[in-house]
Amino acid sequence: MSEPYDVIIVGSGAGGGMSAYTLTKAGLKVLLLEAGRNYDPVTETPMFNIPSEAPLRGTSTPDKPFGFYDATVDGGWQVPNEPYTIAEGSEPFMWWRPRMMGGRTNHWGRISLRFGPLDFKPKSRDGLGQDWPITYDELAPWYDKVERLIGVTGRAQGLPNTPDSPDGCLQPPPTPRAYEQFVTRGFNGLGIPVAAMHAAVLTQPLNGRAACFYATSCGRGCSIKANFQSTTVLLPPAMATGNLDIRANALVYQVDLDRTGKAKGVTFVDRVTGEHHSVTARSVVLAAGACESARILLNSKSAAFPDGLCNTHGMVGRYLMDSVGTSVSGQFPALENLPPTNDDGMSVGHIYVPWWGYEKQSRKQLPFPRGYHIEMGGGRAMPGMNLGAMLSASGDLTVGSALREDARRIYGSYIGFAGRGEMIPNEDCYTDLDPQVKDKWGIPVLRFHWKWSEHETGQAAHMVQTFLEVIDKLGGKPTPGYQTDGKQAISRGGEIIHEVGTVRMGHSPEDSVVNAYGQSWAVKNLFVTDGAVLVSSPDKNPTLSILALAWRSSDHLAGLARRGEL
């Protein structure tokens, strides 16, 4: 296709993939620019490989921080040639990035929870944070469409602020595993309800994609396309329209403006050749991942925008959020010597614990304002090198047949509990450009500023207490090393990899960068469709909402384009 395109999309992950899907289906001519290399899950996924076929039995290393077989290409907590910095005096911040087509959707956790009505109106709820410019009901139709398209498990359970999907949206959830049935009784014994997991994994075939066959680890990707990856679910149908060009290894660093102040395209550097190119289009969609989209805006300086594009009110980079996280694991004698079960498949819990404390919080009976949900892991997963540590922690230095018995007894008797909680946006968490440090191509890099508040550390302490209670209720022993002080227990900023905010949507240019459709206030043919636009960071993992918002914004963009209003 030739320039100018109708739309240039920057980034091919959740937001970019969804935008490409919607806009090409609407008949617009689209160029997708992706910083990473091309990536094909069908041929590149190590589906049935076992640890002994990999160096170091697949153990994590700085080269592959989530293990050898994890799908991440050229990235992790650091990306070669693309540093970032932490401001002096800041608490730590970690930024997870891959460099591959489809971005983080290739190895994400696939937990897909709708935000609830309260999550869109946090300030109205208790005075903290900021209300969104939209309500749950306004976004709900796009949640429905996303669930139908990508395939999400779950069941209507009528729990507060945990929306049920209309009939026909969800795939049937799989039966809970043995350890999950066990743990359910523990939570229920504490009066805490447990729900079916909402995961972007097919339990029934959908649109030519096969159902999960309950083997192989989803974090490696899925060559049979049974889980959601942008590369298997969004980009192929977008490609099939004939309206999509894709360019890999294109690291965009600037939005270019024409004389009237509208976006006319973007400039990028080819990561492989080092050459710089500019391409043109009638509109631009940024979806490079929350922080990187802010970086592109901050690096797009002009006479009209000396502090970066759309940054007249200093809002770009502000209100960076992550989820609150902490975890405790326990060993359960009751699970020892359980007849062997096959717990493979779906690679996340078949159940989770939605936040149960809304009532108490509304009566101010909890010392922290917002909730968290609990994710669990356990069972008889494919053994890894950590088995050695597990056996060291729970027994004597046995050898020979005694060791073999210990191994059979201990294996599958551990359960890990992880909390994922809401963070309230604050003035101390933001990103800006580092005044000195540049990437390999001379482009200024991001500098992060981070500080958890008591809202979050108090919540982390409560998570640990809950985990210890349920472990105790089930007769287990917590694995030593956990912290009961929330300040010690809480994850580092960014560590949960739910970083959102930085280009938030809002009611006016003074309180936000984009409007309720991700359209920038300052440049009307410039949109943002990734996690950057989120106004709050509820406990529910963000990606389903990023997808729904990206679809809604792209529908709006397509309408404006059709009516010649861009």
Partner 1 sequence: MSHQKAQSGITPYVSRVDRRTTLAWLGGAVAAGLAAGAGAVPGAAEAAVVAANTLKGYGTDPKLTHPDKAPWPRLMTPAQLQAAAVLCDFILPASADAPSATALGVPDFIDEWISAPYPAQVADRPAILEGLDWLEAEAQRRHHAVLLQLASADRAALLTSLAAKPTDPSLNKPHIFLWRFRALVIGAYYTTKPGFKDIGYHGNVALAAYPGPSDAVKAHLDRELKKLGL
Ligand X SMILES: Cc1cc2nc3c(=O)[nH]c(=O)nc-3n(C[C@H](O)[C@H](O)[C@H](O)COP(=O)(O)OP(=O)(O)OC[C@H]3O[C@@H](n4cnc5c(N)ncnc54)[C@H](O)[C@@H]3O)c2cc1C
Structure tokens at 314: 């200093």
497 near ligand X, judged by CB under 6 A:
yes
281 near ligand X, judged by CB under 6 A:
no
The entry of partner 1, ligand X, ligand SF4, none that residue 103 binds, CB within 5 to 8 Å by partner kind: ligand X
| Terminal Cα-to-Cα distance of the chain (whole angstroms) | 21
Rounded to 5 degrees, what angle do the CA atoms 315, 320, 323 make? 155
Query: Which element (helix H / strand E) includes 244?
Result: strand 244-247
**Measured between alpha carbons, how far is 384 from 260 in angstroms, rounded to an integer?**
59
**Measured between alpha carbons, how far is 101 from 247 in angstroms, rounded to an integer?**
10
**Cα dihedral: 152, 156, 159, 165 (round 10):** 60
231 near ligand SF4, judged by CB under 6 A:
no
36 near ligand X, judged by CB under 6 A:
yes
Q: What is the DSSP letter of 210?
A: P
Q: Helix %, strand %, coil % for the chain, to 5?
A: 30, 20, 50
Tell me the CA distances in angstroms from 125 to 128, 159, 364, one per residue in order.
Answer: 8, 18, 12
419 near ligand X, judged by CB under 6 A:
no
218 near ligand SF4, judged by CB under 6 A:
yes
Candidates 474, 562, 548, 476; CA nearest to 516 is 548
Minimum CB separation from ligand X for residue 105, in Å? Answer: 5
Binding mask 146-185 for ligand SF4 (x = CB under 6 A): ----------------------------------------
Report yes or no: 407 and 383 within 8 Å, Cβ to Cβ.
no
319 near ligand X, judged by CB under 6 A:
no
Q: Which is nearer to ligand X, 323 or 466 (CB)?
A: 323
Report yes or no: 513 and 528 within 8 Å, Cβ to Cβ.
yes
Q: Rounded to the nearest 5°, which phi and psi values hold at 507? A: -90, -25
Minimum CB separation from partner 1 for residue 349, in Å? Answer: 13
The entry of ligand SF4, ligand X, partner 1, none that residue 227 binds, CB within 5 to 8 Å by partner kind: ligand SF4
Q: Which of the ranges 6-14, 46-54, 231-239, 271-279 carries the binding residues for ligand X, by CB under 6 A? A: 6-14
**Measured between alpha carbons, how far is 524 from 293 in angstroms, rounded to an integer?**
16
The entry of ligand X, partner 1, ligand SF4, none that residue 12 binds, CB within 5 to 8 Å by partner kind: ligand X
Minimum CB separation from ligand X for residue 33, in Å? Answer: 5
Place of tokens 């990103």: 431
**Measured between alpha carbons, how far is 87 from 330 in angstroms, rounded to an integer?**
36
Helix/strand/coil for 291:
helix
The entry of partner 1, ligand SF4, ligand X, none that residue 411 binds, CB within 5 to 8 Å by partner kind: partner 1
233 near ligand SF4, judged by CB under 6 A:
no
200 near ligand SF4, judged by CB under 6 A:
no
457 near ligand X, judged by CB under 6 A:
no
Q: Which is nearer to ligand X, 273 or 401 (CB)?
A: 273
Q: Which of the ranges 77-85, 98-106, 221-229, 290-298 carries the binding residues for ligand SF4, by CB under 6 A? A: 221-229
Helices (H), 375-503: 386-393, 400-410, 454-473, 486-489
Q: Which is nearer to ligand X, 222 or 251 (CB)?
A: 251
Q: Which of the ranges 26-34, 80-88, 168-176, 339-347 carries the binding residues for ligand SF4, by CB under 6 A? A: 339-347
Q: Which of the ranges 102-110, 117-125, 506-514, 520-528 carries the binding residues for ligand X, by CB under 6 A? A: 102-110
531 near ligand X, judged by CB under 6 A:
yes
Q: Rounded to the nearest 5°, which phi and psi values hold at 498? A: -120, 40
Instruction: Name 309's Cβ contacts closer than 8 Å, sequence gap at least 6.
Output: 255, 257, 297, 298, 300, 301, 302, 316, 520, 522, 523, 526
| Residue choice 112, 171, 227, 543 for contact with ligand SF4 (CB under 6 A) | 227
10 near ligand X, judged by CB under 6 A:
yes
The entry of partner 1, ligand SF4, ligand X, none that residue 218 binds, CB within 5 to 8 Å by partner kind: ligand SF4
| Residue choice 134, 224, 239, 522 for contact with ligand SF4 (CB under 6 A) | 224
Q: Which residues bind ligand X (CB under 6 A)?
A: 10-16, 33-36, 96, 99, 103-105, 107-111, 250-252, 287-290, 292, 296, 497-498, 530-531, 541-543, 546
